[in-house]
Structure 1
Amino acid sequence: MPRKSSRGKGGPRPGPKPASQNPNPVSEIPHDGGGGEAVDAAAEAVGRLDVSACPTAEDAPVELPPSSQPPLEASSSGRDELGGSLEEEAVRKLQELVGFGGEEVELTEEEAAANDQRQEDEIFALEAIFGDNVVIFNKKGGQRSFQVHVYIEIPDGIDVSARLGYGSGSLKYGAGHDTDASDDLVYKFRVEHLPPILLTCLLPSPYPSHQPPLFTISAEWMNKMMVSSLCQMLDTVWEEQKGVEVTYQWAQWLQSSSLSHLGFASEIVLSSDSAYDHECGDKRALSHNAAPDVIIPRMMRWNDDKCHEAFLRAIHDCMICFSEFPGTDFVKLPCHHFFCLKCMQTYCKMHVKEGTVVKLLCPDTKCGVVVPPNILKRLLGEEEFERWEGLLLRRTLDSMSDVVYCPRCETACLEDGDNEAVCSSCLFSFCTLCRDRRHVGDKCMSPEEKLLILEKRQEAGKLQGDQHKFLEELRSIKAIMKDSKMCPRCKMAIHKIEGCNKMSCSNCGQYFCYQCNSAIEGYEHFRGSCKLFPQEELDRWNMQMNPRVQRQNVAQVQAEMFRQFAHPCPTCRQPCPKMGNNNHVFCWACQKHFCALCRKTVHKTSQHFGPKGCKQHTADP
């Protein structure tokens, strides 16, 4: 049975950036609904891959100059007729290659012992570097074997494209670049993480002194010619360093240089094998051609899962409270904006408490994405979530023109063509105009007429039952409607305290003009007869912004109140009151200073008032 390494990993590994936004493969790629055992086995293989470890920063992909050969095209991977997982199939294939490992080499006892010790040290080094990404198999026949999951990460992302054709009722890879592909669709998406390359090795006893390791390579997104090219490159590495341990160098090269070697430095192109390529490829290259509607969604899910894991491990700043928290303490919205759990809970509970459920949007000011119900259910308590559902249902019903509410039990009812409705809860049949009993053939009374009748009954002491409550409601409605306007969409009464005439309904979010009560969108409506700001609002604003005007208004009021004690200004003849016994008077109208005793203009206080001039403080006779 295989075992995974329990040794410690290398140093701390920085987490990659959060997941990028990818298109939805289901909406853009046709599905044939097939796949059978091949698709099931492929899904099982992906599920069994170990995703607990990440490469170190030193193992990051390095882009090398592309080779002089034209770039090869990679393909998808699935399952062949043998079935089983990628790992198990690689091990079976490796066992088949044992007999083709070359001529047997006779070793002395010293050479065999030295090779055994070097193999053991090499495996320990692989376990220390790659951690759980190395699977060690039980030693059989004196030979060690293991499997390395080589993960390729591209922090800046890389485009993955596939030329697709839809023929014979199923989605397939389209024609190559050298043939007619006018009817093909080029599908492209971007990833930061690729499904791993599996390097399975068996160490014969003559390794590393005389023979190289036996190995197989498999990858979900490569074709056989692609994997064969990698096998040939590993052979070249061994030829250049015979007699040296090479398995770490193989894994390192696959991780850092395989993409550039294949011509995928800037873009990965998915394609399938031809029949000739599949037969003539390297025996150590494992390839499984799955349909594009299987491999493309799988690659995108793999990338999303790995990016989400990296997000949870990293430290982020909350853009509401500007505090740092680990990714596990954040809530990530569908728009890919994220905020800390505490801020989002406060934000959502505040809107639910105030009843403004239509404003439960992404807190980012430039984003208008609605917070989905599954996230709200996590953030809100049970009672708060039920209140949110009720408010949302009420808002939805209010937006329907044929929905009214029963005046007895407030149950939503459907209005018929005769302005009548029957409550499904209490079976009360009522008129939707006057909200009273059905009165077939009789004209509806206006609220003013009802109020007048009820007030007369109240004076006569003939009010009965709920008529007292109904009378108070009518009076409240009358008082509200006196200084309020009805929202043109939901009919909610809204009263303006101050500001411009562009109003926003807090119930349904509709914008309307407070002057003409028309539904509007922007400010273009106010280029006509309606004014954005009423004159009284402009006057009030000018008074607040100009203290001088405010003092003038106060002085004018005082002059009107104390007209009998006022003194006419010698310049404008407006009455101006004295402030106490002070004869130095300031005219509120023309802004001039004058003396209340001699009625002359005062230019300088020290020159006009004094021993040789008028007295500044005297009581009026």
Structure 2
Amino acid sequence: MELLLHILGEEVDCMTCDIKYLPPVRLDFRLPLKYPSTEPPLYTISCIWLTRKQLSRVCEKFDMTWSSQKGEVVLFQWINFLQSDLLHVLGIEEKLDLSSLVQGLRHSKKDELLSLDSRAVQEIPPGSSLLDHLLAYDEKRRLLAFEESVQMCNVCFVYFSVLIKEGSVNRLQCPEEKCTSYALPSQVKDLVSADLFVRYDRLLLSTSLDLMKDVTYCPRTFCLTPVLLDDESTIGLCPSCSFAFCKHCKRAYHGVMPCALTEEEKGVIYNEFIRGNDGVKEHYLKKYGRRQISEVINQFEFKKYCSENTKPCPNCKANIEKNGGCNKMSCFKCGNFFCWLCLELLDPCNPYLHYSTSNKCLNKLFEGVDDEMEDFVYEFL
């Protein structure tokens, strides 16, 4: 069972670790001469990742079992409880919060300690912290499990080599269906060739850096050195080639000037800003500035309006809007006549000839004109 450990300390607010193997809960017992007739087993129960208060609850559970089943062989029931029901009774499912345990070890009062069951023992090995001990135990058990699985399936060697060559280096797992072990970097080093391990180590580092928000890469293709960024500044300075660049656009650092955006980048910003929530909008405003965002929005809103309401002049490509009248149009920019329907340039001497001779627009001079305008035209004629 995988448990998430939440450690609260003096220097950090919260630390979460992924633990697959926890040290065992230890039950030391001695059977009296009159067990099970009249006396229960004498015992102590210990565990480094449970508080004495939690262990005292276990002692209380054991005592209740003996009281209700005096004369029975309860020892096996106790062991079965520890193996099957302990976590459920203590309310531990997937997350084990050790903050109270760490704080209890530092701040426990004498009266509180005396009120706990003397058979409940909670000890941390000398010379190591609780977290260090748990992580070391988990790594040791993972290594043991992996070594046992490797002895059963030699296909891991070939499989790992193929994955590393393909660039898949995260959590290398045995391909056998019943094997659930993940290889540690030290185990991969023993399994594959030196060249493959160098590639594995480099890709694993790159993958880890990609997940860090405050790390990017030098934009120069011949460098690509990881660069640590400052949240309070927009500049990134490569420690290898000394290239100063903007952390947003990855181009040469431009100070307080807004980033130069390509049309594709502007399109992405417009779509995400229009459709995004307040958090997304605040992100883009902080990244590019209110002025540049306004320019991008105005530009794309204008393009949208033009695509829906205007057509280009076939001669000079100026955007022409038709707000009434017939389909013979006159460009405001170059002065040429053209047909609104087919966008064909018309004879400047007789532009209406197009609507009496053209197969495409025959008798379509007033096609699309609204009813009131059409009645006015016929009445005028």
Q: TM-score, normalised by structure 2?
A: 0.41
More helix by share: 2
**Bigger CA radius of gyration:** 1
Q: Which has the higher contact order (CA 8 A, sep 6+)?
A: 1
